Amino acid sequence: MPSIDMPLDQMRQYKPPLYREGDFEPFWDATVAEALKQPLNAELIPYDLAAKGLVCYAVRFDGFKGPGQQQGGQGGRIAGWYVRPESRGKFPGVCIYHGYSGRATRPLDMIALATQGLCVLSMDCRGQNGQSQDAATYPEGHQMGWMTQGIRDPHSYYYRYVYADALRALELLAHRDEVDAARLAITGISQGGGLSLAVAALSDRPILSLPDIPFLCDYRRAIDIAPTGPYPEIPAFLKSFPQLYDSAIRTLSYFDNLNLAPWITCRTIVSNCLWDDICPPSTIFGVYNHITAAEKRIDCYPFHKHEVPYEHAETRFRAILEALRP
């Protein structure tokens, strides 16, 4: 079976040691508590999708506040979309996260799930190519992109805000009157897959996580071997600031899904493409092998690059319906 990475048999055994800092668990306990305590101030703006039997809304809610915004300031407004059945009742919910530098899944692409009796929410990551604002302040400069924004300190790192925003999006969905909070799934591709892993680790709400070709995995190996995509932003930054290597790796350790993976206990299905040079397959296996869920599976595609095969999109669809529909 071809691969640009380790042989498949070796990847199946690849389980690098965790490299958590001593305050890893308190750091996340405090961040999650802050994210859940902060009011959402959610707004759902009706949107005429003209889809029979469905109702659509543009979504806005307050982004996670961070250092410098805690005293009455704002974390910016986070944007997204929400499509639900028009009929009354309690429906399962799915939260979708998007890929790096992209934008939230749009309403037409949410219809397939919504027509099956599901409430579907998507979220724009702050400051990327959607409508979400990033009102956080970062103490110094960074390499172009978002991977090194605030990297000097885990409390001000960009992905602390994004992980917290992703948790808050799921909370918005769970608290809707028409949503059955006991039947929730999360999914996404690339960065969205990484967020699906992180949220599954940090929240007890999802009963199903479907991360596709996930990003934000096994940073130490990824920055050594990934020739393209977002990971090279980190070595490019450290080329300018070689003295920050240790502190940068320390910051990244809090957000590496490798270190979060043991907290993932819900049913999890991961896709992994063996010619992927953006999210190298070994980095995904490294995270997968640390997931403690009783029910987990990784589906490998030997000839695909950074993409999700149609066949796996069907797998995802079937898994959601099987897990969420009564």
**What does the H/E/C string look like for the chain?**
CCCCCCCHHHHHHCCCCCCCCCCHHHHHHHHHHHHHHCCCCCEEEEECCCCCCEEEEEEEEECCCCCCCCCCCCCCEEEEEEEEECCCCCEEEEEEECCCCCCCCCHHHHHHHHCCCCEEEEECCCCCCCCCCCCCCCCCCCCCCCCCCCCCCHHHCHHHHHHHHHHHHHHHHHCCCCEEEEEEEEEEECHHHHHHHHHHHHCCCCCEEEEECCCCCCHHHHHHHCCCCCCCHHHHHHHHCHHHHHHHHHHHHCCCHHHHHHHCCCEEEEEEECCCCCCCHHHHHHHHCCCCCCCEEEEEECCCCCCCCHHHHHHHHHHHHHHHCC
Q: CA-to-CA distance for 249 and 283, rounded, in angstroms?
A: 16
Q: Do the domain assignments include residue 305?
A: yes
Q: In this structure, is residue 284 part of a structural domain?
A: yes
- Contacting residues for 204 by C-beta, under 8 A, at least 6 apart: none
For residue 2, is it within any domain?
no
pTM recorded for the entire structure: 0.96
pLDDT at residue 74 in the model: 58
- Residue 325: name the closest of 137, 182, 188 by CA: 182
pLDDT exceeds 90 at position 214: yes
User: Catalytic residue among 3, 190, 209, 271, which?
Assistant: 190
Question: How confident is the model over 278-289, as pLDDT tens digits?
Answer: 999 999 999 999
Provide mean pLDDT across the span 226-251: 97
Task: Write out pLDDT tens, residues 40-64.
Answer: 999 999 999 999 999 999 999 999 9
276 included as an active-site residue? yes
User: How many Cα neighbours within 13 Å face the side chain of 35?
Assistant: 24
What is the domain range of residue 237?
Answer: 8-324
Q: Which residue in the list 62, 212, 218, 276 is annotated as catalytic?
A: 276
Mean pLDDT of the chain: 95
pLDDT in tens, 140-150: 889 999 999 99
Give how many domains the chain has, as a whole number. Answer: 1
Q: Quote the CA–CA distance of 96 and 49 in Å, as a whole number.
A: 19
In a domain, 27, yes or no: yes
Q: How confident is the model at residue 69 (pLDDT cuts 50, 70, 90)?
A: low
Query: Stretch 226-245: mean pLDDT, rounded?
Result: 97
CA pair distance 95, 87, nearest whole angstrom: 20
Annotation says 190 is catalytic: yes
* CA distances (Å), origin 227, targets 28, 97, 299, 312: 31, 24, 23, 25
Give the integer Cα–Cα distance in Å for 12 and 298.
10
74 located within any domain? yes
Please check the confidence at residue 18 and state whether its pLDDT lies above 50.
yes
Distance CA 251, CA 74 (A): 24
Average confidence (pLDDT) over 142-170: 97
Question: Is the predicted pLDDT of residue 67 greater than 80, yes or no?
Answer: no
Residue 70 pLDDT exceeds 50: no
Residue 68's pLDDT band, with cuts at 50, 70 and 90, is low
Residue 75's pLDDT is: 72
| Residue 190 · residue 100 · CB < 8 Å | yes
Spatial distance between the Cα atoms of 279 and 180, rounded to a whole number of angstroms: 34
What pLDDT does residue 72 have? 44
Region of poorest pLDDT, from 60-64, 135-139, 172-176, 240-244: 135-139
Q: Which amino acid is at 40?
A: L
Predicted pLDDT of residue 71: 43
Write out pLDDT tens, residues 241-271.
999 999 999 999 999 999 999 999 999 999 9
In a domain, 289, yes or no: yes
CATH number (domain holding residue 88): 3.40.50.1820
pLDDT-based confidence at residue 2 (cuts at 50, 70, 90)? low
Residue 3 lies in a domain: no
Position 279 scores a pLDDT of 98
Which pairing describes strands 91-97 and 119-123: parallel, antiparallel, or unpaired? parallel
Distance CA 235, CA 140 (A): 17
**pLDDT for the residue 15:** 98
Structure confidence at residue 3 (pLDDT): 75
The verdict on residue 1 lying in a domain is no
* Dist. CA 201–CA 59, nearest whole Å: 25
